[in-house]
Structure 1
């Protein structure tokens, strides 16, 4: 990508799975902290990981509750099978690994050991979507698509630390399996500015606007809000609807926002196949609304390795890319 001052120099390491902007307010390890807070109140809560405690913030739980932490090694099928067994005897397990391993390697174990008998197994997936530059082996660009078809599985795609802290106790209190797309490390604080509280299964309008409605999930809600501010300089009034729960999906709120004369756009850190866009599009079709929905998301392809800012620019997830796409559609 070039600018008027020449080539843009991007030096972010491919190993850094962070999307916080410079100077942005963050919370360190919100998942690990929230899980510890929950465990102090509920002795049934246990934590498991597949050799990825440090990289999923589960190490914080392990340090505080060593007798309730289980290191399963690099064996994701065993991880989810053991979590299901713990749930069957009344424990509340949170099992962490990378999203690619939970979905691609261990699907059958989660499906038959947890989903079919409706066990309270909470899967926490690190590096969802394009949050690492490692390449296709670690980029879980299709995790929602894989898990959406599993009967009874709840899917949460949090925007920030506010969502994560709010989601953890609600997931633990839910019967049946859940999947949380983890944002780890120093996670931005975004939603505290919008009189917002996470509610499982609910979408919420964060910002009103007469010209465009952006329906977003995950880190793309942060980008949608940033794009809305920049589009205001172009005299484009933008609404933002945040949908942290992908399944069960809040059709009523989202379709009410889409069924207007405004340009409707979905934004997701996931393939355009099988994720938020297709969830919204299928709901629109079933209701016979006849509205066009424009997707912003990752392509149906294996993505490159590299620095995250470069990759987000390349694949259209950056704020500048969103602004350009919206202006081109108006």
Structure 2
């Protein structure tokens, strides 16, 4: 039952039965706000983390495998492995100086050939053509990446080599005053025979350069197409020509793609095997004359000697592969650092 309370000078107040006293009322308590990610986000994050971990683990496993298999040869050769030019593991006289020089030479020639072609093709596909023609050309360039290496090698041996000999001879005649373009014999006299210009680093570099063009073009084109439309239209509104817009907007935004595509192509060129193996004439001395017959590469050496190598010879080949593996890692990490510091995708030049 309700109770009645009569206060002096006040009206009667009826209190409800079992009403709690104000002091006994529950106090406000701060509650922590906990957010839970959706299940799909959790699955995606863990899948991506697992894929990245597996990739890094595979790379470390490859490096560990090469290190273990190369330990005998490296222990025997010591530091001389880096500067000896001969390759005779059975006589304990071997090193990667000449092989590594040829590998880098072929890769740099390939980069000199592929970079302007890739940059021009990427700008053509992203800025000059559109519609069905662009789709057709993009598909055509992407299909070039699917052509097997041996096909490029056969093309280089049976067609390009004969067509490039007159070009090599012309370069040697007019630019032979540069040591890298000279073609001379042991006494320093210039060669005139066509056979002196075959199976050279120059021909191998051109073939490898054509092979890496699709990869570089694809990366550069994707970077160029991400340039903001607002800044493109702003450049046109200020009276810029198409080339002026490309120079002020597209190229600065695509700087990371240009660097990344170039370095990826360089890494691809360093490891090319079959096409180089089919074209070059292997030698084990440093040949600084890129137009002259004779060069070598690490991957071609492994393909050439793997089947007939002894146990110690295999260890020496693994040591050469380890050097190439470390060189590729250094190039890729350097490229990643440069791309991370670039302003690509952030702003354009004033």
Give the TM-score band, short-chain normalised: under 0.3
More strand by share: 1
For normalisation by structure 1, the TM-score amounts to 0.26
- The structure with higher relative contact order (CA 8 Å, sep 6+) is 2
Whose radius of gyration is greater, 1 or 2? 2
